[in-house]
């Protein structure tokens, strides 16, 4: 992230928020920039820390309110990865993890064959599926070998 540089109103999340009737304040744009540029599952504190590098006046309350709005608008979703800290992930498409129940290691993977199952479920229940979250919990190789 470039310190002090805000995303424009033309970023995807910003456009969706604006279309939903929300103002695009510099603080909200800083939160959006953090989310769009990060490839991690960030918690509120991490979003605040990174967002203050972009917009130093960003407050914890604004981060929480903005994340609540993004979840309410179904643009982001909360994610709990074997720890009590709420993290966030984009609500678009699918998201997949292998989670070790012993050490908490999380492996994110992109290849997902659940699309066939999703299509069958959609047809069987006359349900339009927009996205999915898939987690497999088990034991990683390191923990199994200890």
List, as one string, the DSSP characters of 84-129: SS-EEEESSEEEEEEEETTT--EEE-----HHHHHHHHHHHHT---
pLDDT score at 25: 93
Locate the domains of the chain by residue range: 12-79, 92-144
* Three-class secondary structure of residue 57 per DSSP: coil
pLDDT score at 42: 87
Q: Which residue numbers in the chain have pLDDT < 50? A: 1-4
pLDDT score at 58: 96
Q: Going by CATH, does the domain composed of 12-79 fall within 1.10.10.10?
A: yes
Classify the phi-psi angles of 21: left when phi > 0, otherwise alpha if psi is within -120 to 50, otherwise beta: left
pLDDT score at 125: 92
pLDDT score at 115: 74
Whether 92-144 and 12-79 are alike in CATH topology: the answer is no
pLDDT score at 56: 96
- Global confidence as pTM: 0.67
**Topology of 92-144 in CATH?**
Dna Ligase; domain 1 (3.30.1490)
């Amino acid at each position: 992230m470039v310190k002090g540089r805000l995303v424009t109103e033309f970023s995807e999340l910003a456009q969706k928020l604006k279309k939903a009737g929300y103002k695009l304040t510099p603080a909200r744009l800083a939160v959006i920039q953090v989310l769009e540029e990060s490839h991690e599952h960030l918690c509120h504190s991490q979003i605040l820390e990174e967002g203050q590098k972009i917009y130093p006046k960003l407050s914890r309350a604004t981060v929480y309110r903005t994340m609540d709005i993004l979840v309410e608008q179904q643009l982001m979703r909360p994610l709990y990865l074997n720890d009590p800290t709420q993290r966030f992930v984009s609500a678009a498409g699918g998201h997949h993890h292998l989670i070790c129940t012993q050490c908490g290691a999380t492996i994110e993977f992109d290849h997902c064959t659940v699309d066939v199952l999703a299509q069958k479920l959609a047809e069987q229940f006359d349900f339009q599926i927009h996205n999915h979250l898939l987690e497999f919990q088990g034991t990683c190789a390191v923990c199994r070998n200890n």
